[in-house]
Structure 1
Amino acid sequence: MTGSAIDEVVQRYLDHLTVEKGAAVNTVSSYRRDLVRYSRFLAQAGRSTLTAVTESDVREFLVALRRGDRDGGVAPLADSSVARTLVAARGFHKFAAAEGIVPEDVAHTVRPPKPARRLPKALAIDEVEAILEAAGAPDHPRALRDRAMLELLYSCGARISEVTALDVDDIDTEHRAVILRGKGGKERVVPVGRPAIAALEAYLVRGRPTLAKRANPALFLNVRGGRLSRQSAWQVLAEAAERAGVNKDVSPHTLRHSFATHLLDGGADVRVVQELLGHSSVTTTQVYTLVTVNTMREVYATAHPRAR
C-alpha cells in the first residue's frame, strides 16, 4: 500500500468524501480540482508515490500557488484560494495517514497564509454629516429614532449590537454619557456629543412615546413597540446613505471606523480610542493609525512643494 500512486490515493480520498462523509457534489468537485493541481505539482517535483512526499514539498506547493507561473500562463492565487487548496491537501494527507497508506501525516503542521489585513475605510466628515442629515423628516417618530440612533453610532463609535441592546436607563443625558455593553458583557461608559444628545432628547420626547405600544425598557423601538433589531438598524443606515448620495458600501461598522479615524486625525491618543471602542488590546486599535498615516502621506505628497 505504501507504493500506491498518488493519483490512486487521490481517487480513494474523493470516494471517501463522497460515500463515507456524504460531501456535496460541489465540494467533491472543488477538492478534485485542487488535488489534481497538487498531484501535478508533486509529479513535476519527481514524487511518484505518496511516501516520497515530505513536509517541504507541501510548503513548496504553497509557495508555487502564491507565485504562479508566468511562463506557463498560471496566475498566482489569492491567499483565500491558497488556503482553500491547502485544506484539500491537508485533508488528503490526513486520510492517507489514517488509512495506513503512509506512516505519517506530513502536512499537519503546514498552515495557510494569513489573510492580508484590510485597512478600515473611513468616511469623510462631510459624508458622515450628510448621512446624519438624511435620516428623515424631523417630526416623524421613526425619523427621530433613526437620527438619534445614527448620531449615537457615530458619536460613540459603538457597535450596532451595542446600540440596539441599549435601554432607556443606559443613557445619561445630563452628564452626556452612555453605558455600552461590549463583547463578553464588558461594560464601558462612553461620552456622547451634544448633537447626539439633542437628537436623543428629541426622540425620547416626541418619537419614542408614539412607538411604545407597551412597556419596554429598550431605547430604540420598532413600529410594533419591540426592540429594534440589528438588521433593521442596518437598513436604516443603508437608506440614509442612499438618500445622502454617499455611493460607498456603508455599514454600521463604517461609522465605527470613521469615529476612530476622525478622533486620531484630531490628535486623540490611541489608548484613549482603544478604551472608547472597547478593544481589549491596543494592537486592535492600532490598525486605525495606519489609516491616518496613509492619509498623511497623501496630504504630504500633494501639498508639500518638494514632496516629489
Structure 2
Amino acid sequence: MAAADFEKYLLSERNYSPHTAAAYLRDLKQFAEFCLEEFDSSDTQAVVYPMIRSWIISLVESGVENRSVNRKISSLKSYYTFLLRKGRIDKSPLAGHKTLKTSRKLEVPFSQEEMERLLGNWDGEEGFEAIRDRLILELLYTTGIRRAELIGVQMPDLDLASGTLRVLGKRNKERVLPLLEQTRTLMGRYLSYRAEVITADSTAHLFLTSAGQKLYPTLVYRIINKYLSEVSVKAKRSPHILRHTFATHLLNKGADMNSVKELLGHASLASTQVYTHNSIAELKRAHEKAHPRNRE
C-alpha cells in the first residue's frame, strides 16, 4: 500500500491538516521499520496485534511517554481503518487494543494580573514588528485562536467593519470570532505597517514576517515566549497556554460553557471541560471568602 494513498485519505476524506497527515505517516514509517528489523517483514497489511504490542513495549522501554505512545497507536488505527474501508484487510489488528493510562497534565493558565501587565502596560513601541507582536498576543488571548489558525488567516477572513475574523480550525471546520474594539483598533494600525512589508507572494496572508513572508510556527512561539517571560516566571509560555488562559478567564467570569466551546471550536463539551478545574478553584476561593460559616 503506497503511503501516498493513505496520505490522500487523511487529507481528503478525514480533512486532516498537512501537519497531522505528515505526523501519521512518520509514525507508520517508524512502525514499518520496526517490523522489518524485528520480524523481517515489511508488509504492514499482514501485521498481527502481538507485533504492535512488541512495538509498544519497545517505545515504553526507550522512554517514550504513554501519551506519545497512544498518539502513535492512533496513527496506526487510522491506517488500519483506511485498509478496512478499501477492503484490503478483514479485521484491524488493533480492534481489541486499550490505550495506555496517562496522567492528566495540569496546565497552569496566566493570571488576569499577568495578562494586564503584558497588554495593559505596553511601552508604546511602534513599527511593524512591535505592532504585529502585540496584535498576535491580543488575538491569542482575546479570541482563543490556535497558533495554526492564526498563521492560516487570509486577508478576506478579516472583516473590520463588523469586527469579526473567520478562521479555519481542525478538520477544516470554520468559525467566526468576534473582535474586541481595542483589537480592531490595533488591527488597523497593523494593516498600515503591513502595507510597507508586503510582497507579491504574501498578499493573501494576514500575518507576515518583517521580510514580507507568511508567518511560521516557531516565530509565533518565540514571540509569545519572549513577552510572557517579561511578566511571568511560569515555565510553560506557549500559544496554547494563552488559549487555555482565554477559556479559563471567560469561565471564571461566568461565561456559558457552550459559548466557550463554540469560540474555541471544540467538537464536544468534553474538550472544553478540561478548563473548568481553574474555574472551580476560583469558585472555591469566592465561596471561602464570602460564606459566613467560614468566618467562625
Do Structure 1 and Structure 2 share a fold, with TM-score over 0.5?
A: yes
> 1:130 offset after TM fit, Å?
2.5
Aligned to 1:183: 170
* Percent identical residues: 31
Q: Which runs of 5+ in 2 are unaligned?
A: 1-35, 43-53, 74-94
> 1:172 offset after TM fit, Å?
1.3
CA RMSD, aligned part only? 3.5
- Quick check: 1:213 aligned with 2:191? no
SS of equivalent residue, structure 1 residue 175: coil
**Deviation readout 1:270-289 (Å, 9 max, x if unpaired):** 00111110011111111222
Query: Following the alignment from structure 1 to structure 2, what is the Cα–Cα distance between the partners of residues 289 and 162?
Result: 23
> 1:223 offset after TM fit, Å?
1.8
**Deviation readout 1:10-61 (Å, 9 max, x if unpaired):** xxxxxx9668479xxxx99x85x96xxxxxxxxxxxxxxxxxxxxxxxxxxx
Aligned to 2:220: 233
> 1:174 offset after TM fit, Å?
1.6
1:53-68 residue pairs with structure 2 within 5 A? none
Instruction: Rate the CA distance shift 1:160–1:110 in 2: closer, same or farther, 3 A.
Output: closer
Instruction: Rate the CA distance shift 1:158–1:168 in 2: closer, same or farther, 3 A.
Output: same
1:238-277 residue pairs with structure 2 within 5 A? 238-277=225-264
Q: Which runs of 5+ in 1 are unaligned?
A: 1-15, 35-78, 88-107
1:203 pairs with 190, 194, 202, which one?
A: 190
> 1:244 offset after TM fit, Å?
3.0
Query: Following the alignment from structure 2 to structure 1, what is the Cα–Cα distance between the partners of residues 121 and 234?
Result: 14
SS of equivalent residue, structure 2 residue 136: helix
> 1:180 offset after TM fit, Å?
0.9
Contact 2:151 2:217 in 1 (8 A): yes
Query: Following the alignment from structure 1 to structure 2, what is the Cα–Cα distance between the partners of residues 17 and 202?
Result: 58
Query: Following the alignment from structure 1 to structure 2, what is the Cα–Cα distance between the partners of residues 19 and 271?
Result: 49
Contact 2:128 2:210 in 1 (8 A): no
Question: Bigger radius of gyration, 1 or 2?
Answer: 1
Aligned to 2:30: none
Query: Following the alignment from structure 1 to structure 2, what is the Cα–Cα distance between the partners of residues 235 and 305?
Result: 47
Aligned to 2:142: 155
Aligned to 2:50: none
Instruction: Rate the CA distance shift 1:133–1:220 in 2: closer, same or farther, 3 A.
Output: farther
> 1:299 offset after TM fit, Å?
4.2
The two structures have a TM-score, normalised by structure 1, of 0.62
Contact 1:135 1:143 in 2 (8 A): no
Aligned to 1:297: 284
Aligned to 2:113: 126
Instruction: Rate the CA distance shift 1:239–1:133 in 2: closer, same or farther, 3 A.
Output: farther
> 1:210 offset after TM fit, Å?
2.2
The two structures have a TM-score, normalised by structure 2, of 0.64
SS of equivalent residue, structure 2 residue 176: strand
Instruction: State the number of aligned residues.
Output: 223
Query: Following the alignment from structure 1 to structure 2, what is the Cα–Cα distance between the partners of residues 299 and 18?
Result: 58
Instruction: Rate the CA distance shift 1:230–1:304 in 2: closer, same or farther, 3 A.
Output: same
SS of equivalent residue, structure 2 residue 175: strand
1:223 pairs with 200, 210, 214, which one?
A: 210
